Structure 1
Amino acid sequence: MNDTSGWASPGSEPSDSQGSGIPRPADSAGSDAKWSKQQPPAGQWTPPTAPGSGPVPPPVQSGWGNQPQWSGDWGRPPAAKPGVIPLRPLGVGEILDGAVSTLREHWRTVLGVTITVAVISQIADILIQRYLLPRAPEIDPDASPEEALGQTVDAMQSSMIAMVPTLLITLVATIVSTALLTIVVSRSVLGRPVTLADAWNEARPRLLKLLGLTLLITVMTAGAIAVGALPGALLGSGALGVVGGFAGGLVGIWLWVRYALASPALMLERAGITQSMRRSAKLVRGAWWRTFGILLLVLVLTAIVSMIIGMPFGLLAYAADGDGLGGLFSGSTPDFGWPFLIITGIGAVIASAITYPISAGVTVLLYVDQRIRREALDLELARAAGVPGHDSPASGADTSRG
């Protein structure tokens, strides 16, 4: 037996039989995985002519140089695909396609989650910016150099203070949407429907732990950057501070990638905070660069999508409020009113409705992919989805679990 946790899909409680993975020979070298006592049933592929058995291999063609082939890998039937992804190790394009397919096939639930969370968070942010935050100090163009420097520092401090409520609201919105979308994506992998009420009931007991996990990883990442920049700040050396901050930033990135899969592990395996972090570190080990590349690609894509959606709303907001588009080049600090806040808030809601599902979906599918590669999770998922020929060895024909 190995020490890896099993796939605990929403709607089921973890059992002893879920705790055993079946590592592949290619992944056993250099890892701490062990062979499970339960092996997949041999020779139980349903004949292609049986009803519901899936794709039929192309017929053998006679003639010089023609060889019989399956439509998938040589000598193997195509991988089962009960949901949005095929149950085999995934490529980068398949992970992105699975996230988009989840948004397309479960659009009612996904948009219900993202729009609800985005609207509530944007309303809270608008009200805080309008009524609770002080106005940013203006810089006097006729001020002396010393006075201008002091006014600039005050303006920067005011901007940083104004960012704190927005960051906190964004953090809470991200946690709630991540928890709900993780449930939706996990169901879509098995090809099962899920409603907003189902996702909320499954995710609600894990929200506090997910909040603690997110805060802990955030503090660790920010702490690494602060520790790197601290010597330069204490010695008053700007160059040392830049070098130390850069080194701390590299450590922070390494920690971010190392624990990137902790959230789906916490939600789907019903693990604790520290156990989820250990699971993420174990799954990422040996695949750090691949994980980093996929996460960076998704980060860039979502940033581009947000910018494309946000720019027209930003221009429209400037035109509808203040001095119009001419205020962009006047150099003065505009006094934004309700029209600006409402229009930009609508743009932010639309951008969040698209980017949240893609970001959360890629993270969950990356977690599933790593478990397929290391622990043969595809066999357990095929049994849970009721794929023919993948009945549980223990029960013979029970495929309703999970």
Structure 2
Amino acid sequence: MALAPALAQQKISDDVVKIGVLTDMSGTYSDFTGAGAVIAAKMAVEDFAKTGKILGKPIEVVSADHQNKADIAAQRALSWYDRDGVDVIVELVSTHVALSVMNVAEQKNKIALVSGAASLPITNERCNANTVHWVYDSYGLASGTAKAVVESGKKNWYFIAADYAAGVAMTKDASQVVTSNGGKVVGVAKHPFPNPDFSSFLVSAQSSKADVIALANGGQDTMTAIKQAAEFGIAGSGQTLVPIVLFINDVHALGLKTAQGLTLTEGFYWNRDEKTRAWSRRFFERAKKMPSMAHAGVYSSVLNYLKAVEKSGTDDTATVMKTLKSTEINDGLFKGTIRADGKFAHDMLLLEVKKPSESKEPWDYYHVRKIIPAADASLPLSESKCKLVQR
């Protein structure tokens, strides 16, 4: 038994475990990812080991801005994996970025842990054995928000969707939920990314007389659309505005006066229970804002990656991935298991944004209306197109 630690130390490649945070540092998604994602990764390292070591070897965190460009992300991933000895890349907001880095991870036999991107294809038709989709996807968002809104009687939907992969995926998955529950999609309008002016799209949506105007976009685009919808008087017109994906940082920027009443689905809420509050307040001390579900996902993914390396006694990719997929995760922020397709299946939260008078403290923004079980928030494996799922 005395030789076990020494043997384990010899199995850490390059004598260091290196984690790369590849995120949007300055663009559309930087508020709910960005510098906060780096803080979350470093918190995970510190919580795992106060000494900053694993199996006697140092842990390092590096970071870079992918500028929401797939080619820049792929080049950085190649450089990190080949030249800099990075073992795992985390965060990866925006679907085209995530898919490009996933491909590089598969080619180089390294690991990618996705927290910020939304598209179902990450664990469906584009899945690979080196990737885990950690926090949320378009299926989970739709199975929460779209289902709840349709069941409330709002049947006719009009989508304003970003013209990129995540916008397509969110529109597709939400549309399927709408139609399978007796609703109808009366129109879809695609907008460029990023987009500063939604007036023409909102006018078309108003003219459609749809019960629901659904926003299948993210970050600054979603906030701009919500602000301009308020200016158009949509909230009081009888039409309901529904963001398919919205982060608490977006709500904070909008303010409760503008965001009140919105229904949304998230994978994490800082004020859910004592454990989430304790961790989130520590995060707040550093970031000066409460964590988004993407921030929480970075922390959870890094922490559980390190646990898997320690348990495996090596940072070998296949061994670590096998350990991750065979271990139940329960870290105080998320609880669930990683499926064969790489989907981290955990409960999701159906939320309603509070009125200003209902908020008891800063960042107290949500009513938790429903806990969506992991099984309902995840695409059934029987419907999966992932090559890793046994038929």
TM-score by length of 2: 0.26
Q: Which has the higher helix share?
A: 1
Higher RCO (CA < 8 A, seq sep 6+): 1
